[in-house]
Amino acid sequence: MPISDYEMIAAWKQVLTLSKLQAGQTVTILTSASTHPQTLSSALIATQSMGAIVNRLDLLPVNGEKALSRDSLAYLGTTPLTGNLAAIAALKASDLVLDLMTLLFSPEQHEILATGTKILLAVEPPEVLARLVPTEADRARVRAAAARIVTSREMRVTSKAGTELVCPLGEFPAISEYGFVDEPGRWDHWPSGFVLTFPNEGQASGQIVIDRGDILLPQKKYVNDPITLTVENGYATRIDGGVDAALLSDYMASFNDPEGYAISHIGWGLQPRARWSTLGLYDREATIGMDARAFEGNFLFSLGPNNEAGGKRTTTCHIDIPLRHCDVMLDGEAVVRDGVVMDR
């Protein structure tokens, strides 16, 4: 159901207030051909009404001839900022960047954040943004979960479907995604609500069973037949199953990059307002599937890069896969049991 401009402006103001936007600060709104016009127009009004100095930076799309999907996360190669020194300078000079384009997994983003500029990604449809406006409670819950990861040395994930995955921890930080940017140099994604880290390089091992009803992203598809990933030395070395497994295997092979098969981030969803079922209600090109990534109690893992956490692995292939009905254990203590978050 559509959202009124009034509601979207109010939603932006709440997020910007949580992000500690102050009058007189500079906000640059980063846009491209795929930016939703209502998200942009309401962001422009909200930022100006809060007294910010507002710029819009519109950049031309790239990678369209290489990607197999129109999804902005389907190909993580160069970005519109690659080699664009003038655009990078403008973003570095901003206090806050509202990314309505999708600037993920890029060295330019790290470079901008290192100056203290905050970046907030917001590319879901307006009605999803309005339904999943972040709160202080989201922040508290996600950061509490991140604190548990920091003190743990192993994540073990099991399921009745057959998942038996062991991920040694400690090499990479815990990352909290709660939907707003309240500290200098922080990146976040509205909507969100989950915690993640990365296994120690080359050490994840076991088996992951992607069961019926689990989700593949960016395919934005509920799995019909189980897919089994064999994980050895941090990489998925086999993809077994029926048609869904063959489709996933063919898609990944198109990148011609062995690094795309590496186990990337691992964590669990903490957003009770996100729903597993939502993906089935949208056209594939209308959403990037943040409900699927954030719904409470999922085990979310990915394949591909780890440079977002300071690692050295980059690849154009990145796949997010949220699983239901898993047990997630940190050093033997359950944080998720059969898809239910075990909050302390």
| 105 and 82 Cβ atoms separated by less than 8 Å | no
The one-letter amino acid code at 174 reads A
**Residue 241's pLDDT is what?**
98
pLDDT along the chain (344 residues), means of 10: 95 98 98 95 98 96 74 75 94 98 86 97 97 98 98 98 98 97 98 98 97 97 97 98 98 96 98 97 92 98 89 90 98 98 83
Contact 157, 163 (CB under 8 A): yes
Which letter does DSSP use for residue 318 in this model? -
Nearest to 31 by CA among 78, 81, 75: 81
Best CATH choice for the domain 5-131 from the list 3.40.50.2300, 3.40.630.30, 3.40.50.1860, 3.30.420.40: 3.40.50.2300
Contact 59/87 with Cβ under 8 angstroms?
yes
Size (the chain), residues: 344
> Which position has the token pair 């060295």?
107
Residue 41: exposed, middle, or buried by beta-carbon count in 10 A (0-12, 13-18, 19+)? middle
Scored b (16 or more CB within 10 A) or e, 280-316 reads eebeeeebbbbbbbbbbbbbbbbbbbbbbbeeebbbb
> What pLDDT is recorded for position 309?
82
- Given this model, what pLDDT does residue 177 score? 98
CA 31, CA 81: separation in Å to the nearest integer?
A: 12
CB 220 within 8 Å of CB 251: no
Element (H, E) at 245: helix 243-253
Phi and psi at residue 95, to the nearest 5°: -80, -35
Is the separation of the CB atoms in 247 and 284 below 8 Å? no
In this prediction, residue 340 carries a pLDDT of 98
Handedness of CA 280, 286, 288, 294 (dihedral sign): negative
Per-residue model confidence (pLDDT) at position 344 = 58
d(C-alpha 268, C-alpha 142), whole Å: 10
Q: In this structure, how many other beta carbons lie within 10 angstroms of the beta carbon of residue 97?
A: 28
In 3D, which of 248, 266, 265 has the Cα closest to residue 313? 265
Residue spans of the domains in the chain: they are 5-131, 136-341
